[in-house]
A and B are shown apart, each in its own frame.
Chain A
């Protein structure tokens, strides 16, 4: 998909949409079960002092995850 980036590269406050989850097994299932599924709007709220972890907003909830985990979430800019 054109314009697809992974979430660890995304700028803060951009309106994004999940396209797919990269990776396998437990790590992938964990992200899916927390509601990070294809088509879901997602936003990077802020990054920690050393740029890792990141805080994201998804499905009305806020989650903290590491850049290494954010790398597994492919997104596109919306609009």
Chain B
């Protein structure tokens, strides 16, 4: 009797391409940006096939079911609580032996298993050809080949899943254990008061009770995996491109300089592609604003609505959307360093330095990404598997002065300081940012108890792989749109709020609510040399950082950067300007960042604590900078 609906759980080692496959099977649109399975959640999507339904559940990557990591505990609990009809084991063709170990353990436990042999294209490039028909015959279960981007014969897979689900018989293959283990398994089975204790439960009982026998069991599974691999590998690999590249990429002296060059090149690429696009978006919104100011009143739209649309919505959206190209470039670049396998090399090179402050080497990636855009840094924190490392990465990367802040900083520094000292001032600000990130990481380490997952570093060093361009671009586009959806409502809302505060009550700017807030805070600002105009600029910078500068332009009623620079230098001392920048660099990252912090950690209290923490830190640094500076001037 054929089932109408089927539940299938995807199980595989980390980085076997499970998520790409899941997206390919279930339609990427629903899942992009979710990155589920990477950390704690299991996610499920349904697929219709010939009037029947298959629900696929993606689970985090594991090496076994033995609870050696949080992911393994989660996967094991999930499989026990809600046993699927079929377990789909994703096997990396590049690493058949170790991946077959997991397949054998799944087969032992769940019987109804289908193996999906992934990355056969990449394996082929490395001289590895696997006789999948033979593997299927040896294991007695279907083996379906697929390429790295997740393209496969879906119909064949679905048929195989239904066929296996309908089958009653035990699988053809069982791992041969040594006699001592078999005796212990028989004893464990006999001990159980329930008759017919499943064999795998007896094996598990032995594994959990006797460390010596556990080693024997794992060894026997690996011996079986090695024997199977040897019989199915048609061609063995020779010295690979990866070995040649890694001789340089992981070189003890040249590895780090090469990494810096790679990052510099990627940053350059990010900016050289995204800046013209950002300018274009900015110009488009400027034009839209102009056009609505000219044409809307003529069409009988009330003045208030025109102002709301032009000065509120359009300029607010323009400021935020200007950063979309940069976010898109981040997704692209991140995808590239992840898919090529370079990300693991970076972690390898940087781990020792990062462990000095109690962090994992992989944290280097989100921290660097934060300098492009804090949202990027927070999203990149997903590479960290430990909850603790991830929390630290999310909090610390929002202290990197992002490109929006760097833009304002460069403008102010070059307006206030002669070209010689301007470089030094910029370097001092950047050094402050690095010190802040280290401090935040250090404090987080004291406050948050590290879980037992924070230390293990052991990870695979995959072969280098050229990403598929089409897949790369589609994925980047989808992730960018998803990001836009996530922040859309908040950006619209905050644009309206800022517009309201800065437009009412009508009249000169000094009368508006925004100015009144600034004036009310002036006594506080005086402690570190900030006048009400600068305070207003800081408030206006909360939704989007670069709005700080445009708001100063509005307050001083100047046009163009040159005009603003002149006005500012005549109103503010260089020390106050420097202090302003220190505060500006530190206080609340933009709203999109705060939302992303919440969405990544699913925890409002952390997001709000990070806001208060950043305000506190900015006040402290501002006080220090202004009062120490005063002693020297």
B149–chain A nearest beta-carbon distance, Å: 22
CA gap between A77 and B148 in the complex, in Å: 38
Q: Which of B97, B452, B457 contacts A60 (CB 8 A)?
A: B97
With CB as the reference atom, state the residue of chain A lying closest to B344: A64
Interface size of A in residues (CB-CB distance below 8 Å): 35
Cβ proximity bits B160-197 to A, threshold 8 Å, 1 near / 0 not? 00000000000000000000000000000000000000
Known: A29-B67, A64-B347. A69 touches B457 (CB 8 A): yes
Of B24-32, B214-222, B611-619, the one with at least 4 CB within 8 A of chain A: B214-222
Q: Which of A31, A35, A46, A66 contacts B97 (CB 8 A)?
A: A35
A27–chain B nearest beta-carbon distance, Å: 7
B68–chain A nearest beta-carbon distance, Å: 4
Cβ proximity bits A54-73 to B, threshold 8 Å, 1 near / 0 not? 01000111111110110000
Q: Which of B215, B352, B458 contacts A21 (CB 8 A)?
A: B215
A59–chain B nearest beta-carbon distance, Å: 5
User: B353 interface residue, CB < 8 Å from A?
Assistant: yes
B30–chain A nearest beta-carbon distance, Å: 32
Known: A26-B452, A30-B456, A37-B219. A62 touches B252 (CB 8 A): no
With CB as the reference atom, state the residue of chain B lying closest to A60: B97
Known: A60-B95, A64-B461. A33 touches B63 (CB 8 A): yes
Interface size of B in residues (CB-CB distance below 8 Å): 42
Residues of A within 8 A of B66 (CB): 29, 33
User: Which chain A residues in 1-52 approach chain B with CB under 8 Å?
Assistant: 20-21, 26-35, 37-40, 46-52
With CB as the reference atom, state the residue of chain A lying closest to B254: A49
CA gap between A33 and B253 in the complex, in Å: 33
Q: Are B68 and A26 in contact (CB under 8 A)?
A: yes
User: B496 interface residue, CB < 8 Å from A?
Assistant: no
Q: Are B218 and A32 in contact (CB under 8 A)?
A: yes
Residues of A within 8 A of B250 (CB): 46, 48, 55
Cβ proximity bits B77-119 to A, threshold 8 Å, 1 near / 0 not? 0000000000000000001111001000000000000000000
Q: From DSSP, what is the main secondary structure of chain A's interface residues? A: mixed
CA gap between A46 and B252 in the complex, in Å: 9
Residues of A within 8 A of B452 (CB): 26
With CB as the reference atom, state the residue of chain B lying closest to A27: B456
Known: A21-B215, A37-B222. A63 touches B95 (CB 8 A): no
Q: Are B252 and A49 in contact (CB under 8 A)?
A: yes
User: Which chain B residues in 357-403 approach chain A with CB under 8 Å?
Assistant: 361
Q: Are B348 and A66 in contact (CB under 8 A)?
A: no
Q: Which of B64, B67, B219, B351 contacts A53 (CB 8 A)?
A: B351
User: B239 interface residue, CB < 8 Å from A?
Assistant: no
Known: A29-B67, A30-B456, A61-B460. A49 touches B256 (CB 8 A): yes
Q: Are B98 and A34 in contact (CB under 8 A)?
A: yes
B317–chain A nearest beta-carbon distance, Å: 44
User: B481 interface residue, CB < 8 Å from A?
Assistant: no
Known: A29-B67, A33-B63, A49-B255. A59 touches B222 (CB 8 A): yes
Residues of B within 8 A of A60 (CB): 95-98
User: Which chain B residues in 339-360 approach chain A with CB under 8 Å?
Assistant: 344, 347-349, 351-353, 355
Residues of A within 8 A of B351 (CB): 48, 52-53, 66
Identify the interface centre among B252, B255, B348, B460: most chain A CB within 10 Å of its CB: B348
Q: Are A63 and B459 in contact (CB under 8 A)?
A: yes
Q: Are A49 and B459 in contact (CB under 8 A)?
A: no
Q: Are B215 and A69 in contact (CB under 8 A)?
A: no
B184–chain A nearest beta-carbon distance, Å: 17
CA gap between A64 and B457 in the complex, in Å: 7
A55–chain B nearest beta-carbon distance, Å: 6
Q: Are B98 and A61 in contact (CB under 8 A)?
A: yes
Q: Which of A27, A31, A38, A68 contacts B219 (CB 8 A)?
A: A38
User: B277 interface residue, CB < 8 Å from A?
Assistant: no
Known: A59-B226, A64-B461. A33 touches B349 (CB 8 A): no
With CB as the reference atom, state the residue of chain B lying closest to A68: B455
Cβ proximity bits B32-51 to A, threshold 8 Å, 1 near / 0 not? 00000000000000000000
A36–chain B nearest beta-carbon distance, Å: 9
With CB as the reference atom, state the residue of chain B lying closest to A46: B250
CA gap between A50 and B256 in the complex, in Å: 11
A6–chain B nearest beta-carbon distance, Å: 15
Q: Which of B64, B101, B215 contacts A38 (CB 8 A)?
A: B215
Q: Are B353 and A50 in contact (CB under 8 A)?
A: yes
User: B414 interface residue, CB < 8 Å from A?
Assistant: no
User: B512 interface residue, CB < 8 Å from A?
Assistant: no
Known: A60-B97, A64-B348. A30 touches B458 (CB 8 A): yes
Known: A35-B222, A48-B351, A50-B353. A62 touches B456 (CB 8 A): no
Residues of A within 8 A of B211 (CB): 28
CA gap between A21 and B68 in the complex, in Å: 14
CA gap between A61 and B351 in the complex, in Å: 20
Closest CB pairs A-B (n = 6): A50-B352, A33-B64, A62-B461, A29-B68, A30-B68, A65-B458
List 10 A-B pairs, Cβ < 8 Å: A29-B67, A38-B219, A48-B250, A49-B352, A61-B97, A61-B460, A63-B461, A66-B355, A66-B458, A69-B456
Q: Add 20 more A-B contacts to A30-B69, A32-B214 (CB < 8 A).
A: A20-B215, A28-B211, A29-B214, A30-B68, A33-B66, A37-B215, A46-B246, A46-B250, A47-B252, A48-B252, A49-B253, A50-B352, A51-B352, A55-B461, A60-B95, A60-B98, A61-B95, A61-B97, A64-B460, A69-B458
